[in-house]
Amino acid sequence: MTGGEDARETGVPEASEPATSAPDVSEPGVFELSAAGARELVIRAVSIPSVSGDEAEVARYLVGWMTAHGFRAHIDDAGNAVGERGSGPLTVLLLGHIDTVPGEIAVHIDAEGVLHGRGSVDAKGSFCTFVAAVAGLGRETLERARFVCVGATEEEVPSSRGAHFAVTQYAPGAVLIGEPSGWEGLTLGYKGRLVLHVSVQKPNFHTAGEGSSAGDDLCEAWFRVRAWAQERSGEGIFGAVQATVQQIESGNDGLTQRARGVYGLRLPPDITPQQARRELGERLSGLATVEFRGDEVAVKHPRDSLLARALRLAIRDAGGTPVFKLKTGTSDMNVVAPHWPVPTLAYGPGDSRLDHTPDERLPLSEYDLAVTVLRDALTRVAQTMKPGA
């Protein structure tokens, strides 16, 4: 999977920049979405279960909502919920995901106005922010740019089906990835990933005899992987190679010993999955059989793009302090970055530490702010960015 795992994140407040007045986004004759209407969108979307591979119902709901609110909408061949507004020469692609990890959480709004439910943070909240913001754009903005919202399928599993299909369909001039960063947060990059499926098989022998067991060899393989990670790590959490044991088991049938483990790596930008494959393959040669999966290249975008500037100004005008973040997990940004070398950021409301947890929840007041910020930022992007810039 691209994982949808934000894991740890690093962030620092952006240096002070004067706020400017927000552009007018309420052109007469253009659909205006109320805060209550935007909230209804996310509450209903979170209420529809959509574990990876079973997104059809929520996709139908989102397409119906977008169609009723001024979008040209459809479900594409990957099952993505797609909605478009605007006709300008600049294409802004807003890619979120509508699938979730398993685990039912009773959907409700508590006394503090917090929406509880699977997907409220990761990441239906972000995609609904995209849709609600685009629904409220003014006529002049829609004449300058075309905004395409793609609610992608299967982001939480290895296929990343929706994102892989999207890269074959569009050539955007700017990209927003829907992942929780907090309404003041701008995510510039994600670490890469590689997963090792390691196995050992050898004839059974008496434990009083000489030699190593299959389990011993599997542990030695892990020690070598961990040592490599330590040797190849750079400065800080984003520069480190993070290695974890995801699964381990062993046994025998009286004739043959078998041991199997799954080791996960989070890779910094200066180590590609191909490099890791080669170096680890050499270290584990003759000890264990290794199958590499889940390759994702780390990505880090600049903080001075016109897209980043538009969001920074919009956050400041809403009373916030922009914070740049780098995340140790992966997202669909890793999938699309090699295909779309354009200004890209991840944005969305919510605390990513709640991703995949039993306490996943989103304050609706923060969602409201994120919608306002994004609508403002998209208006600025349409005014300042040129196709191919």
Q: Spell 197-232 as b/e; 16+ CB within 10 A means b.
A: bbbbebeeeeeeeeeebbbebbbebbeebeebbeeb
| Number of C-beta neighbours around residue 58 at 10 A | 25
Q: Which of 5, 155, 184, 355 is flagged as catalytic?
A: 155
- Angstrom distance (rounded) from CA 120 to CA 103: 13
Beta sheet of 114-116, edge-to-edge order? 108-109, 114-116, 361-363
- Angstrom distance (rounded) from CA 253 to CA 311: 60
- Is residue 99 flagged as an active site residue? yes
- Is residue 155 flagged as an active site residue? yes
Q: Which of 99, 154, 156, 351 is flagged as catalytic?
A: 99
- Angstrom distance (rounded) from CA 227 to CA 206: 30
Q: Is the peptide bond before 123 cis (omega within 30 degrees of 0)?
A: yes
Using an 8 Å Cβ cutoff, are 83 and 63 in contact?
yes
- Give the CA dihedral 366, 368, 371, 375, nearest 10 degrees: -120
The helix (run of H) or strand (run of E) holding residue 250 is: strand 242-252
The helix (run of H) or strand (run of E) holding residue 307 is: helix 306-317
Catalytic residue annotation:
99, 155
